[in-house]
């Protein structure tokens, strides 16, 4: 692997202070605002290295706080004389573990907002315009805008032709219940018996939940009446449009998005950070998720794992009842977008249906944004809308 170490003496400080230096990089305290390191030079020679002979910008970060930190890595073209970068990578970083960041320079074309995960790194997105690497005369590496000081180490700055390896700290970060091991808090589960007692006590509360007395069974408001048609519909009164429930009651939708038990976290490449992972087959099979979004990956859903521990094969039905009761207690009358369609149907509540396969065109305007004025888009949109029938 061909690498080019960057000259640390060429880095400038922006709203931060060096509190330690070991020849590998900088121990920093960053002050409120945007803060970090800045490189300025003639295009192609930032940091004393040849950017045209590189595929990745690589560095290591270690956050000396108890919370995750958002990093900004900004790129300025020489024609950009503002304080705002032409393009910026926004990177989530875990606290307390050294994490290798490797940014593909090919992504400076800004055609992909969401970036694939690498071991140890949290979500990464790109904002801004396409950048010509040959015109870049400034980069910055530092923390996002904040109102407090933070301590972190930024080390091992270099360019690499090839993607590097991603070494991980020898530590367990996630316990057998899916909780962060590096911190305690009131209510943290400390044993399996505590978990089972907690979940089963909630499930044992068999009180029948219902909407307020002046709501219909659909969640409509009985204080304002229209004609009942047996269907949800709209009606205009003067200049105001109303939603009307099947019984003719005014309906004000208060929905909760993402009502689903299958939110999960990636496992690939960071298995050593888990105290325990269940088998992918058998009773915990529903807790595993395979995806191909951005890259093939396996994820584990510890919420489902814990429900399966408590309720076995009937965990879904139990979760449905618990969730429906909670929504009614909170005053929600709609299952919002990106929710489980199985839950939406089982709940008997009004729900939002997310349509699939948004209409595209062969020629795109920016990233995946289609040419909305083309006949192709109009035709594809008509087909897209047929899902509503």
d(CA 368, CA 362): 10
CA angle 60, 61, 63 (to 5 degrees): 160
d(CA 167, CA 159): 17
- Residue 258 neighbours by CB under 8 Å, 6+ apart: 336, 337, 338, 339
Domain ranges of the chain: 3-160, 192-206+256-347, 355-389
d(CA 251, CA 216): 9
pLDDT at residue 388, as a whole number: 83
**The whole model's pTM is what?**
0.87
Condensed to tens digits (0 to 9), the pLDDT of residues 55-100 reads: 999 999 999 999 999 999 999 999 999 999 999 999 999 999 999 9
Q: Are strands 334-335 and 364-366 parallel, antiparallel or unpaired?
A: unpaired
Encode the chain (389 residues) as per-residue pLDDT tens digits. 589 999 999 999 999 999 987 889 999 999 999 999 999 999 999 999 999 999 999 999 999 999 999 999 999 999 999 999 999 999 999 999 999 999 999 999 999 899 999 999 999 999 999 999 999 999 999 999 999 999 999 999 999 999 999 999 999 999 999 999 999 999 999 999 999 999 999 999 878 788 999 999 999 999 999 999 999 999 999 999 999 999 999 999 999 999 999 888 999 999 999 999 999 999 999 999 998 877 888 999 999 999 999 999 999 999 999 999 999 999 999 999 999 999 999 999 999 988 888 999 998 888 888 999 999 999 999 999 998 87
Q: Which residues of 100-131 are buried (b: 16+ CB within 10 A; e: fewer)?
A: bbbbebebbebeeeebebbbbbeebebebeeb
- Residue 50 neighbours by CB under 8 Å, 6+ apart: 4, 44, 159
- Which two tokens mark 51? 């950017």
How many Å is the Cα radius of gyration of the chain? 26
Which CATH number is 3-160 given?
Answer: 2.60.120.430
pLDDT at residue 197, as a whole number: 96
d(CA 254, CA 256): 7
d(CA 249, CA 231): 11
Instruction: Please report, for residues 233, 352, 387, the alpha-carbon distance to residue 299 in angstroms, rounded to integers and kept in the order given.
Output: 40, 26, 30
Closest CA to 38 of 72, 69, 64: 72
Which residue matches tokens 């047929």?
386
Report which DSSP code applies to 42: S
pLDDT at residue 1, as a whole number: 55
Q: For 232, list phi and psi in degrees, rounded to 5.
A: -70, 140
- Which two tokens mark 154? 């930024």
Q: What is the dihedral angle through the alpha carbons of 112, 118, 122, 124, rounded to the nearest 10 degrees?
A: -20
Report which DSSP code applies to 260: -
Instruction: Please report, for residues 5, 47, 246, 380, the alpha-carbon distance to residue 270 in angstroms, rounded to integers and kept in the order given.
Output: 27, 31, 50, 41
């Amino acid at each position: 692997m061909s690498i080019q170490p960057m000259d640390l003496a060429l880095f400038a400080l922006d709203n931060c202070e060096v509190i330690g230096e070991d020849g590998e990089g900088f121990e920093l305290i960053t002050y409120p605002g945007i803060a970090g390191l800045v490189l300025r030079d003639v295009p192609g020679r930032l940091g004393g290295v040849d950017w045209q002979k590189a595929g990745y910008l690589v560095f290591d970060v270690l956050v000396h706080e108890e919370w995750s930190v958002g990093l900004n890595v900004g790129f300025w073209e020489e024609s950009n004389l503002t304080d705002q970068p032409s393009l910026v990578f926004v990177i989530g970083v875990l606290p307390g573990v050294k994490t290798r960041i490797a940014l593909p320079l090919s992504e400076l074309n800004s055609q992909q907002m969401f970036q694939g995960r690498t071991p140890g790194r949290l979500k990464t997105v790109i904002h801004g315009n396409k950048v010509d690497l040959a015109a870049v005369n400034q980069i910055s590496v530092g923390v996002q805008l904040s109102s407090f000081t933070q301590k972190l180490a930024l080390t091992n700055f270099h360019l690499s032709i090839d993607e590097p390896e991603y070494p991980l700290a020898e530590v367990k970060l996630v316990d057998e219940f899916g909780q962060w091991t590096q911190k305690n808090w009131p209510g943290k589960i400390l044993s399996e018996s505590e978990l089972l007692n907690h979940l089963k006590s909630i499930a044992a509360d068999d009180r029948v939940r219902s909407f307020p007395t002046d709501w219909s069974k659909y969640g409509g408001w009985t204080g304002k009446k229209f004609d009942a048609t047996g269907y949800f519909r709209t009606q205009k009164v003067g200049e105001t449009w109303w939603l009307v429930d099947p019984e003719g009651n005014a309906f004000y939708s208060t929905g909760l998005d993402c009502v689903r038990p299958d939110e999960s976290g990636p496992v690939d490449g960071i298995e050593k950070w888990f105290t325990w992972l269940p088998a992918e087959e058998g009773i915990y099979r529903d807790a595993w998720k395979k995806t191909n979004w951005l890259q093939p990956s396996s994820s584990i859903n510890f919420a489902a794992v814990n429900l399966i521990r408590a309720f076995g094969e009937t965990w879904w039905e139990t979760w449905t009842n618990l969730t429906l009761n909670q929504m009614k207690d909170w005053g929600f009358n709609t299952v919002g977008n990106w929710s489980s369609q199985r839950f939406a149907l089982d709940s008997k509540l009004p729900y939002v249906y997310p349509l699939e396969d948004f209409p595209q065109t062969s020629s795109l305007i920016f990233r995946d944004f289609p040419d909305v004025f083309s006949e192709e888009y109009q035709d594809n949109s008509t087909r897209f809308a047929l899902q509503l029938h």
